[in-house]
Structure 1
């Protein structure tokens, strides 16, 4: 390591008010936990001790260096917010060792940052930090250690990626050597610590060669192959439009609830009566719609600020988040079924109502729109809650766009009917059908809660909600819903109908048919698209499953689960490439691929013939975070599912692809991966 640069300069940390400091400390503590420690993959740490006698009271300078991967930059200690500059905290020091003054850093670069749209200070290549120490004469420098926590953030301008702030605990001997982490030593043992626990790696022996992992490249251009790097964008595009349709459908469905539907003709009539011209009525209705859109979209903005883009994936996998969503869905379901009614405080509703009636013109109409969203809370909350639950696994814009689409669909009839008032005559009259619609939604939300409870069960390892139990509970819920729609059952607050209409009969048939369709799943039969919302079959396999055709089996016995070293060794021994399935217990798209693609004969044939298979759960309690970091370092993404073809000789990445794929696309990926492996393997021999 080079001597400590002369341009190292002193840095005085700015004073921060206590309340602001506590807030920032809380945010910095929460964000890294939610997002995993991905930045560690791209930064290696080293240290050096140099004797110093230039100033009295300082006899040792301890230099800490960060080696930053090409293409990435680390924000300096004095970089302004919202970038997260390096923050080094001494957590432990021997009694006879004193840290003198502040930590100093090398001169950083300064430039405009496209990620944060401000001028920042940063390091590329290397970053040097220096501690001035006063070490007592009796201290054994070969064994005495300084404990520090280094919080840092790195970004890649070319990729447009900023990884969340990461805290790296380091233990530095006073002779300048770094001590491997305790987690790594516990994993590999003292005997192999120097080989498998090199500081800066992923604290796992299998990841010691992380710098040797190479992305597929086109010639010498240094760019990732477009056929693989674009796959994540393609899969997200399809998912986004499906989510958009879900949001619009939820908004239209919310209009049919008893709290909202009767308000449509009353509101349009109010605009017609209180405006002298038709154009004025249209403008008032438009203002009313804008108020509705602003209210719900504001909720989406709040959700995105709380969740953020980088935290979405890990938050979606959190068992606490899934437990909260399941609880909310159950409460909403019971409310829709008539057990109780969800209401906002009366004072809040009355305040907005007074503002709407006491103010004239468009300001009063705005408050009327706000009042509608509050009054209809008991009916719209289940839709809004379910929609926001669907956004947790997406990016930051999903809550905003979702609520914008929901509210636009919700407000559309008010504007449309103001333009065409005669269309009011075509609306069906309010009646008991709205209560039936609300109760039916309650059954659907109750079934949806099973999915999130299953996620909690899988991550925490309770082994209570098995696949057959989840199927059985869903069958019972859909069966009861069908009987209710047929008029064979009634809830306590209503009477049985003397007769039922065609719409109610068709809905009952649909529920009963779905319940019967799921019945073979109790005995292990695949349920195609429905399997995406059920616990993985390999967790709750049944003996009767073997009675189904060979082509329907998922060959789970071929997969080596959560053991990357064992899988690499098996692949090397077999002379085959390793296919790594980065998956999650809570990943719906992963279940969809496993149920609908992995079970097909074309895929299982290639699994057995061409590959050794490895499955890594990135949201598990034991190694989930480490596997997620390994996935990020290997593939450059934490999206689930992600599939990587790796050459076990040298552990080189051959091919990768993310997201849900069709059968043809996945078969093409497997064929290309095995073909590229042969070429890669010959080149490395």
Structure 2
């Protein structure tokens, strides 16, 4: 009674102070509902408390300050509270002079309240959080903060991927419980509910792949004993896993149950331990996660996981001083990706131009060049008027373009997905096959054999060309395409492989084929309209075969580009950067020696080669190219004309001095990276990665090595790679319980995972964030981005935002 009167008098005394200090708001609350399972939510009430102030716990005795409480207007039908309200934060207990020296529990800096609920239908839950805050001299009047949660139930039978926050994937939900066999024997069950499309791996898988599911019992032998090993009650599937080089792996889909037999030696025993698991879907894996459990076998209830006598970890937030609101807006339109229509258009234009150049080269081959005057003369002579002859020649040219466009049509109709096209460019066996095919093309150009289509095809096309009208003209164009295949085939093959290996895929191929056909069709329409120019064409002769041989050397060089792709992906270690440039240099020297007449091929004319101005000019050009590519043999050599073709700089015969991806300089601690970034005044590139992250390796092996990306990372950014699955333990004084997830942060990997999840609301890797040295996020972060152009644009965007911010600061 005395304490109640004291409290009432105290509030009367402090009320004027409160009114005078009405602008004081030392505590701010954030409310959210996190979906944590099927029809299950965790309601989160998070308070941030200013320095010097405190908020009182929910479990203080009466007669003092108002305890913190969560109050509901009405519990709606269909909603059930699961367990008690949890308090997460560093709870202190001390004598409080303001309240007659009562011993009170309170929180400084922050406190998070969590309540788990389940629902059977859509519900709206309203209420308020009531709390009181004091500093060393005064208290503010108790305050109520309203909240309203609209909780949506899952549809019956739906398989909804669960995310705690946007981007936080939690595809596996666990339930741990016990079953009594007799007075001293129990089963402990571990039930995993697995979202559609995800897998949980068995305990019994080979090393070198994903992390197997495993169970640890920390206090076995203290009050209980384990009988045998953990059984897999659910039978796993066993199939090849594409994410891990087609290893044969055992895994579970939809549901898995594990069971451990326990025998008690002490009826009061509590079983404590942890389970570790990893989960993947068709395109990505989440980092392995370790979850503690503690179960009282007598009641079958899960209890607090701290062992008796164990120091309770402080509940804290990952605090890295980062402003996550993007500074720049250069990639706002695309959110987490940086694809732009402009970038795709540039890709199509580039492939069209490449196809057009290929078509021009095909015109100079002996299969096509002699056909130009014959075909044009046929149209101009058979027509009754010049205008009709020009029209027919133009239609003939249009038919050529149409025929080559139709060759690409199946790829467009079947719409090869982007992942398939990426697989083409990185598949070891396909790249080796392309290497062999290109060598076959090369030796065909050298004249050792001819690549021809079946004679039956040629005869049918030739017969159809005798039909009158436009139909006959179309089949004349088809005949040209078939007859010239021995010369155009290798060039078309190069275009096909190059287009499908690049980002953009089937539409790139269509653009390239149209470009190729347009170049072949151009002279027929041009010379039909202006026949006087045809007299200026050079006469057919041995120079046409020389063009084929030169193209043969170029095919050899391109063949080794595809072998280089396979070598990089499979880590053969055969075609290092310097070896690649030796081969390209030898190809260039081979062309020079051939043009000088020092070597001959089967279809070359006998006798001494006459070196005219054209041969001499091309000889000088290829000699200069040989010297240029030869500079790449030296350490650090970087011939700019080979950009995007040669193996990356790090893939060298010379020793590398760094243990970071691609030989880059990097940090593995965020604070160290920021400190260095401040010294050199460069932005920080944060690479959230993992040792077992498949897509991380794809980015490091296929995107980062590209010159435009590698140059930006190595020269413009301070790289910090944070491994979320690093198992090295944190020092004891740095371990804590995450205020974001409620999980114990004990390892370095836990720390970086908590950093990523709490700041960016994402827990999948890879994830890339560009940050200024003062902690400002520069643009929208991006996840796995296999498109080189998009990724380079993302890096350019961040760099542009950083430089603009510097200019503003200087004014």
Question: What's the TM-score bracket when you normalise by the shorter of the two chains?
Answer: 0.5 to 0.7
Match status 1:501 vs 2:609: no
- Distance in 2 of aligned mates of 1:651 and 1:146: 49
- Distance in 1 of aligned mates of 2:589 and 2:254: 61
Pairing partner for 1:481 from 591, 601, 618: 591
Match status 1:321 vs 2:430: yes
Gaps of 5+ in 1: 12-39, 50-61, 67-85, 93-140, 151-167, 177-189, 544-555, 617-629, 678-685
Partner of 1:468: 578
Offset of residue 275 of structure 1: 2.0
Partner of 2:106: none
Offset of residue 465 of structure 1: 1.3
Offset of residue 384 of structure 1: 0.8
- Distance in 2 of aligned mates of 1:47 and 1:431: 76
- Does the C-alpha gap of structure 1 residues 503 and 191 become closer, same or farther in structure 2, counting only changes over 3 Å? farther
- Does the C-alpha gap of structure 1 residues 402 and 575 become closer, same or farther in structure 2, counting only changes over 3 Å? same
Match status 1:274 vs 2:382: yes
User: Deviations for 1:225-257, whole angstroms, at most 9, x for unmatched residues?
Assistant: 779955755544444333222111111111111
Partner of 1:492: 602
Match status 1:560 vs 2:668: no
Whether contact under 8 Å (2:709, 2:792) holds in the other structure is: no
Offset of residue 508 of structure 1: 0.7
Q: Mapping of 1:100-249 within 5 angstroms? A: 144-145=233-234, 170=253, 172-173=255-256, 193-194=275-276, 197=278, 202-205=285-288, 224=332, 230=338, 233=341, 235-249=343-357
Partner of 1:376: 484
Query: What SS does the aligned partner of 1:414 have?
Result: helix
- Does the C-alpha gap of structure 1 residues 293 and 416 become closer, same or farther in structure 2, counting only changes over 3 Å? same
Partner of 2:171: 45
- Distance in 2 of aligned mates of 1:329 and 1:45: 45
Partner of 1:353: 462
- Distance in 1 of aligned mates of 2:719 and 2:255: 43
Partner of 2:670: 571
Match status 1:331 vs 2:457: no
Partner of 1:518: 629
Match status 1:416 vs 2:526: yes
Q: Mapping of 1:406-445 within 5 angstroms? A: 406-445=516-555
Q: CA RMSD in A?
A: 5.4
Partner of 1:645: 770
- Distance in 2 of aligned mates of 1:442 and 1:273: 37
Bigger proportion of residues as strand: 2
Offset of residue 428 of structure 1: 1.7
Say how many residue pairs are matched. 504
Whether contact under 8 Å (1:474, 1:515) holds in the other structure is: yes
- Does the C-alpha gap of structure 1 residues 648 and 310 become closer, same or farther in structure 2, counting only changes over 3 Å? farther
Offset of residue 309 of structure 1: 3.8
Pairing partner for 1:538 from 650, 665, 669: 650
- Does the C-alpha gap of structure 1 residues 507 and 654 become closer, same or farther in structure 2, counting only changes over 3 Å? same
Bigger proportion of residues as helix: 1
Whether contact under 8 Å (1:319, 1:456) holds in the other structure is: yes
Partner of 2:474: 366
- Distance in 2 of aligned mates of 1:42 and 1:403: 44
- Distance in 2 of aligned mates of 1:217 and 1:651: 8
Offset of residue 413 of structure 1: 1.6
Whether contact under 8 Å (1:561, 1:615) holds in the other structure is: no
Query: What SS does the aligned partner of 2:253 have?
Result: strand
Larger-gyration structure (1/2): 2
Offset of residue 262 of structure 1: 0.8
Offset of residue 410 of structure 1: 1.3
Query: What SS does the aligned partner of 2:706 have?
Result: helix
Pairing partner for 2:416 from 287, 294, 307: 307
Partner of 1:593: 708
User: Deviations for 1:188-236, whole angstroms, at most 9, x for unmatched residues?
Assistant: xx98744x6378782324999xxx9x99656999x93779955755544
Whether contact under 8 Å (1:333, 1:446) holds in the other structure is: yes
- Does the C-alpha gap of structure 1 residues 175 and 206 become closer, same or farther in structure 2, counting only changes over 3 Å? closer
Whether contact under 8 Å (1:88, 1:148) holds in the other structure is: no
Offset of residue 595 of structure 1: 7.0
- Distance in 2 of aligned mates of 1:665 and 1:143: 45
Partner of 1:116: none
Whether contact under 8 Å (2:685, 2:719) holds in the other structure is: yes
Whether contact under 8 Å (1:293, 1:407) holds in the other structure is: yes
Match status 1:342 vs 2:451: yes
My pick for the range that moved more, 568-577 or 321-330, is 568-577
Pairing partner for 1:459 from 547, 569, 573: 569
- Distance in 2 of aligned mates of 1:562 and 1:518: 22
- Distance in 2 of aligned mates of 1:567 and 1:656: 19
Match status 1:393 vs 2:482: no
- Does the C-alpha gap of structure 1 residues 361 and 520 become closer, same or farther in structure 2, counting only changes over 3 Å? closer
Tell me the TM-score normalized by structure 1: 0.61
Offset of residue 48 of structure 1: 9.2
- Does the C-alpha gap of structure 1 residues 644 and 245 become closer, same or farther in structure 2, counting only changes over 3 Å? farther
User: Deviations for 1:520-564, whole angstroms, at most 9, x for unmatched residues?
Assistant: 322212223425322223222426xxxxxxxxxxxx745622999
Whether contact under 8 Å (2:772, 2:802) holds in the other structure is: no
User: Deviations for 1:611-653, whole angstroms, at most 9, x for unmatched residues?
Assistant: 436899xxxxxxxxxxxxx9xx979999xxx964369999999
